[in-house]
Amino acid sequence: MNILGLYLTSVLIWGSTWLAITFQFGAVPPAVSVVYRFALAGLILLAWARTKGLPLRFSLGEHLWMALQGFLLFGINYLCVYLAETEITSGLVAVVFSLLVILNIAGARLFFGTPLKPFTMLGAALGIGGVVLVFLPEIGRGTGRGDPTLGIAFALGGALTASLGNIVAYRNHGRGLPVVQMNTFGMIYGALFVAVFALVTRQPFLFDWSPRYLISLVYLAVFGSILAFGAFLALLGRIGADRAGYVTVAIPIVALLFSGLFEGLRWHMSLVLGILLCLAGNVAVLWGRGTPQR
């Protein structure tokens, strides 16, 4: 697949998964759906790794770091996402997650001492201002399925834990842990953590055999959790992390289009201006990150 194909694959699949998550809502509690999704994705990756003869033996310390990655990136993160989408439309959750680029760079500064550049600060201000502009009118009149304030809180919690998970993944990759195996065990550990949470909170492990639930589950596990990530890694290897990062700019646009078509998201001037500010903030951060230091 060429570079454009890899880019479109990542953007279109990840942009559509925000809506696909809403097809999981119903008889099955959100936490249990997260367990099913990442248990399925992790087991598929494990079978693939065995078929390819990839090494699967790691030390206890390496497993603990992979477990921490899974707890943050595939556990708490997605639990917050699913809960956020029970309160607000999927496209608006994607807008909040557009702050992930800014949070990643702030985390790199905090944990690795990476210097902040002027464009990073400008991008952070634009991104935060954009999210505020998007949600202030929605909080006033309500949006989506429930409490918008609670939905925003869950979305912000998900974005923060995703950022922390990315930092742990960056650390694991830097210590030589292979990406496929790292994510295989990360997904399995993430599913186990959420399963424990569901058991402790006495959420029933029901299953929905309807075509809507089954198709969305397979789509999220195979396409959203395996194929899109594989396409993005290939893109990363060909054009570098800075330019590949622009995938995150386009994903909220796709998510919002789907949300407008299927969830009745109301378009108004404040929403459009807020989205443009968020996108401009991400572009500024990514452009500044790719600019050589003087």
Name which of 284, 266, 264, 287 is nearest 276 in CA terms: 284
Confidence of residue 292 (pLDDT cuts 50, 70, 90): very low
Q: Which range has highest mean pLDDT (55-64, 93-102, 248-257, 283-292)? A: 55-64
Q: Given this model, what pLDDT does residue 34 score? A: 97
By the 8 A CB rule, do 119 and 174 touch? no
What region does 69 belong to: left with phi over 0, alpha with psi -120 to 50, or beta? alpha
By the 8 A CB rule, do 135 and 271 touch? no
Amino acid letter for position 212: R
Q: Does the pLDDT at position 245 exceed 80? A: no
Question: Going by C-beta distance under 8 Å and a sequence separation of 6 or more, which residues neighbour residue 2?
Answer: none
Q: Given this model, what pLDDT does residue 291 score? A: 43
Name which of 76, 79, 128, 78 is nearest 103 in CA terms: 128
Tokens 């206890």 identify what position?
A: 60
Q: Does the pLDDT at position 262 exceed 70? A: yes
Neighbouring CB atoms inside 10 A of 130's CB total 23
DSSP state of 52: T
Structure confidence by residue, pLDDT tens digits, 95-151: 888 777 777 777 777 777 777 677 767 777 777 787 777 766 655 554 556 788 898
Name which of 98, 105, 100, 97 is nearest 121 in CA terms: 105
Q: Does the pLDDT at position 18 exceed 70? A: yes
Tokens for 103?
A: 């949070």
Question: Going by C-beta distance under 8 Å and a sequence separation of 6 or more, which residues neighbour residue 231?
Answer: 1, 6, 9, 10, 13
Confidence of residue 293 (pLDDT cuts 50, 70, 90): very low
Structure confidence by residue, pLDDT tens digits, 229-243: 778 767 766 765 556
Confidence of residue 174 (pLDDT cuts 50, 70, 90): confident
Structure confidence by residue, pLDDT tens digits, 31-47: 999 999 999 999 999 99
By the 8 A CB rule, do 191 and 42 touch? yes
Taking the C-alpha atoms of residue 148 and residue 224, their distance in angstroms, rounded to an integer, is 25
Question: Going by C-beta distance under 8 Å and a sequence separation of 6 or more, which residues neighbour residue 292?
Answer: none
Q: Which pTM value belongs to this model?
A: 0.84
Q: Which range has highest mean pLDDT (55-59, 89-93, 140-144)? A: 55-59
Amino acid letter for position 151: G
Query: What is the rounded average pLDDT of the residues 220-233?
Result: 85
Neighbouring CB atoms inside 10 A of 206's CB total 11
Taking the C-alpha atoms of residue 243 and residue 279, their distance in angstroms, rounded to an integer, is 15
DSSP state of 142: -
Q: Does the pLDDT at position 284 exceed 90? A: no
Tokens for 127?
A: 């991104």
